[in-house]
Amino acid sequence: MAKKKPRKKTAVAKTPPKPTPEQVIQVKTWIIEGQQAGDILESIAESYPDQTPQTLMSATFDGLIQESANIDEDLVRGFLLNATRELYRRAFEINDFHSAIAALRAFERVTLGS
């Protein structure tokens, strides 16, 4: 009678756990702060070793897409006004008057809608 060959154990791929809201918020924060993609992926690997970067990034972008459908126009207008004001201030500080005027024109478009 022939001996049976022992079966090789195959590795079963573990599916990563579903990202928590806290993890998604942290990745969203990194994106909004303007972090580079490589830095975000590295931070995910360091901060959340049980998650795959692909799963966490996908969950984050899904959330951003859902949120973008319900953005408050006044909130966006306020952000644009503050950003334009900051651009004007910095341009004026370094005597870049061309950019300062461009910031004022952008401010006018945001406030007057022209």
Residue 12 falls within a domain, yes or no?
Answer: no
Residue 81 falls within a domain, yes or no?
Answer: yes
Specify the number of domains making up the chain. Answer: 2
Residues in the chain: 114
Is residue 34 over pLDDT 60?
A: yes
Is residue 10 over pLDDT 80?
A: no
Residue 49 falls within a domain, yes or no?
Answer: yes
Please check whether residues 62 and 79 belong to one and the same domain.
no
Residue 25 falls within a domain, yes or no?
Answer: yes
For residue range 61-84, list pLDDT tens digits in order. 998 888 878 878 888 888 888 888
pLDDT, position 17: 82
Provide the residue range defining the domain that includes 102.
73-112
Indicate the pTM of the whole model: 0.53
pLDDT, position 74: 83
Residue 16 falls within a domain, yes or no?
Answer: no
Is residue 84 within 8 Å of residue 106, measured between CB atoms?
A: yes
Q: Span 89-112, mean pLDDT?
A: 89
